[in-house]
Structure formats: C-alpha cells, structure tokens
Amino acid sequence: MIATRNNLNSIHRPQTAPAAAVRLEELIGNTPLLRLDRAAAAHGVAPGVSLLAKAEWTNPGGSVKDRAALNIIRAAERAGGLRPGMTLLDATSGNTGIAYAMLGAARGYRVKLAVPENVSPERVAILRAYGAELILTDPLEGSDGAIREARRLAAADPTVFYADQYNNPANWQAHYLTTAEEIWRQTGGAISHFVAGVGTSGTFTGVTRRLRELNPEVVCYAAQPDGPFNGLEGWKHMATAIVPGIYDEHLADGNLSVRTEDAYAMARFLARNEGLLVGVSSAAAVAAALQVATGLDEGVVVTILPDSGFKYLSEGFWAG
C-alpha cells in the first residue's frame, strides 16, 4: 500500500490517549508551597517562624480562581443546570472570569462576564483571547457594580447559567476539598497560622473550615483593604461592599488590614529580593502574613499567592 497523508494518519494515530496525557482540568491544584525566607528576614521574623505561600499562578489559568471555577462548573453539571452549548454568566474582577473562559472553551460553554472597566488591560486581553463576551461596568463601582450588572443580565435571560461565585457554596468547597488538604500535607500538619485575603471569601472560608477540622488550634486571619477606595484588585472592604453570601464574619480568629501602598512596596520587594513576580493581592497577602509572623517566636505561617504579576505589568507602581 502506498502511504498517503490520510492513511499514515489512520495508521499512526493512537486509538487511546497515552497514559501520561492529561486533561486541562487535571492541571488545576497541587500548587507548590514556597518559602519566603528573604521576606521573613528583612522584616524581622524570628528564626523559629517559617513564612510559606502557595504559588497559585501555577494553575493553568494563572490563578487560585481556577479551583473555584472548576468546582462551580462541575457542581452545576451534576445538578443539570449547566449543559453544553449554554452560556455561563458571572461577575468578576478578572481571575475567576479567566478561569471560566478557559474552562468554558475546553468544555463547550459560551461565557459572558460583567467586569469593571478599570481591570488591568492584560486581563481584558486574556479574556477576549479565550472568546469571552465582556460587559464592562462603571469602574467607580468596582466589583459591586459588576455584581449588580450580572444580576440584571441573569434576571433578563433565564436561559443562562448564573454561576454567582459570591454566593455559590461550590466556591468555598473547592478550597475545603483541595487547597486546605494540600497545605496540611505540604506542611506535614505543622501549620500554626493561616492568612488569606477576602474577596468572594471562598479561599479563606474553605481552607479555614477544613484546617479547623484537622487541627482546631490553627489560627486563621482574614485580610482586607484598609478602606473602600483601594488598589487591591480582587479584595473587598466588607464594611462598605456588597457582602458575599458565602462570607462568615465570625469565622476568622482575627482581621487584618493592608494599605495599597504597602502591597505595592511588597510586590516590588518580592520581585527584587525573592525573584517572585506576583500580583497585587499576592503582595498584600504577604504583607498581612508578615503582620502575624513578626509577632511570633515560633510557628508555621501559610498564606495564598492568588496570581502572578504578569497581568499587572502595565501598572505604574513597579517603577517605585
């Protein structure tokens, strides 16, 4: 038989995928736990205290939000509320939207997102590259304005699946089932303090609930911006914002506040001293974790780095 392109393909194409091949969603989770030794030393943390952080930008969509988006989608599929060809709708400040758009493209869903107009241009470009439809909302209203627009769109079109990440329990359950278990395993159960920023509050809520089951002595802190007007994209100042339905104000052992300027400074420090190019919310999380770590003589403090700095390179604070 003469070999042609068509029959060569039929001869050599494997009938089943190689054993080492994986689906996109299998790349989500199992992120590295990093030591932040230089940051700890530079800020006077005692030698007996370890400062550690989960590098969530290693998820395929580039952020911690891949975990929640995947669990929200899977839960909706199991319940029959989301089927191929449908449109997934939600409000986002960027990262959850990117995760939705990535997974939607992979699983056959259209994705429509209400997004504040002032999110970084890199995020907008990524969302459009994945084919998401964007409705840009008033930048002065922040994520709350996007939430109100998503609710309006959902009410006007009952055929869409409104993911509603701020009120969907599948959000925090993703971190209860995965992130907390990874932290416990990676620290050998030695974690003494957990610190995370709150936006939807899914990461903090899910991790804290599971860690409390594993060891009731773990101390958990929620971190927020120090005021309603801030540059900590993805975080919420709960006293003045639309409070997510999944947020439990009684869950944290303590609440920490972070100034935008301190987060910017920490982003520069981590890039130039740890070799970690992280996003603003990641830098803010480290600043908050240091508030805890500097008050200890011994312990293992773990925080979450939600994303890298690549989506923020157009911001001016890097030159400081």
Is 281 one of the catalytic residues? yes
**How long is the chain?**
320
Q: What are 233-258's pLDDT values in tens digits?
A: 889 999 999 999 999 999 999 999 99
Say how far apart CA 81 and CA 296 lie, in whole Å: 47
| Positive or negative: CA dihedral 242, 244, 249, 253 | negative
279 or 142, greater pLDDT: 279
Are the C-beta atoms of 119 and 134 separated by less than 8 Å? no
Model pLDDT, residue 15: 57
Q: Which one of the listed residues 63, 93, 281, 308 is annotated catalytic?
A: 281
Q: What are 103-137's pLDDT values in tens digits?
A: 999 999 999 999 999 888 999 999 999 999 999 99
What's the mean pLDDT in 58-69? 98
What's the mean pLDDT in 250-275? 98
Q: Which one of the listed residues 50, 54, 63, 65 is annotated catalytic?
A: 65
Which neighbouring-strand residues pair with 220? 194
CA angle centred on 95, ends 90 and 98, rounded to 5°: 70
Is 308 one of the catalytic residues? no
User: Strands (DSSP E) along 226-290, which ranges?
Assistant: 254-258
Local structure of 194: helix, strand or coil = strand
Are the C-beta atoms of 299 and 50 separated by less than 8 Å? yes
Say how far apart CA 58 and CA 189 lie, in whole Å: 23
Q: What is the largest CA-CA distance in the chain?
A: 77
For the segment(s) 65-162, the CATH number from 3.60.15.10, 3.40.50.1100, 1.10.3720.10, 3.30.200.20 is: 3.40.50.1100
For the segment(s) 26-58+178-319, the CATH number from 3.60.10.10, 3.40.50.620, 3.40.640.10, 3.40.50.1100 is: 3.40.50.1100
Q: Find the radius of gyration of the CA atoms of the chain.
A: 21
